[in-house]
Structure 1
């Protein structure tokens, strides 16, 4: 079961160690790689969380997956997680590390969802607007396409949601029609 508090503590320890060793950027790239592996391979995450597979097998598999793609510091950290029986938390630790790195470097994560793909010019304009409004140094803009929005967009940032989609407008109109304001006046 994912434990965000535990993941945050391990991530903080890794951030501190990487900063001390002068390898924060390298470990950040490693954590992005591990997060991409975990997001793309459900089997890998299931392997990490499996109580049936022995620790030495998990360590060998993690080493094989990350062999030439991560630094020695990240590989040693992965071995430590396996030794402590915390390898199941690796996806959450990677996400927590990236969040802490972004906080240290004043980087905001923004998710833009639109009904159709948007141009680079529009992405840059949205990133610039968020930077200016929030006083951030950089913005990590993630885009997604959801045709059910019909038109408009949704923008997720800092646990906030701006929903300017046609779907929301239609749902609001539907709610207004479901509540008949004039019915009480007829009686």
Structure 2
């Protein structure tokens, strides 16, 4: 069966359950923490596909990855996923749940990358500009990446504005290569 289809079905079921029990926000927080655990500990995914670990051990592992006190409803969902032997899809399910949650709440995901750190006042201005153009509900993340040399990269949901010096240099290089071919 298709990985995307499996993840989508489980995420939709989790969202429906969370809506019925009015715990969408709590589940969203649990899923975000789980995703951070997957990002910072790549071995977590390897452990989930390890056939030596029992389902109970995998549930305990995922509960620990969520942090101190995951919600009981989330743990019930994790038990269901492991019972159905779909634990290898937990990361994709979590990502899909986040996407569905943001769509249902009208939240835009905004990520900005700059070459040097920005002060809080500048970040606040950027956030306000993005809120005016996109929507009032924005989930904002910020990252410093010196490899872009200068400028910024702004991602809003699936759209990207790359105004980095690194990108401009790449475009200039392509223009030069294309002009050589014409000669």
TM-score range relative to shorter protein: 0.7 to 0.9
Structure 1 segments unaligned to the other structure (5+ residues): none
What per-residue deviation string (whole Å, max 9, x for no partner) do you get for residues 87-136 of structure 1?
Answer: 111111111111111111111111111111122222222222222222x1
Quick check: 1:30–1:69 contact (8 Å CA) kept in 2? no
Deviations 1:39-93 (A, max 9, x none): 2211222111223433233234334555742111001000000000011111111
Checking the alignment, whether the CA contact within 8 Å between 2:31 and 2:66 is kept in structure 1 is: no
Counterpart check, 1:88 vs 2:83 = no
Q: Is the 8 A contact 1:154 1:165 kept in 2?
A: yes
Instruction: Report the equivalent of 2:158.
Output: 159
1:4 to partner: Cα distance: 2.3
How many residues are matched? 183
Cα contact 1:150–1:167 (8 A) shared by 2: yes
Report the Cα offset of residue 155 of structure 1: 0.9
SS at match of 1:163: strand
- Which consecutive residues of structure 2, in runs of 5 or more, have no partner in the other structure? none
| Residue aligning to 2:38 | 38
CA RMSD in angstroms comes to 2.3
- Residue of structure 1 in register with 2:70 after alignment: 70
- What SS does structure 1 have at the residue aligned with 2:141? strand
Q: Report the TM-score, using the length of structure 1 for normalisation.
A: 0.86
Kindly tell me: are residues 152 and 67 of structure 1, through their superposed partners in 2, closer, same or farther at Cα, counting changes over 3 Å? Answer: closer
- In structure 2, the CA distance between the partners of 1:85 and 1:137, relative to structure 1 (3 Å rule), is same
2:2 & 2:145 partners in 1: Cα distance? 28
Q: Distance in 2 between matches of 1:67 and 1:164?
A: 37
Q: Please state how far the C-alpha of 1:138 moved relative to its aligned partner.
A: 1.2
- 2:144 paired with 1:145: yes
Under a length normalisation based on structure 2, what TM-score does the superposition of the two structures give? 0.88
**Separation in structure 2 between the aligned mates of residue 107 and residue 70 of structure 1, nearest angstrom:** 23
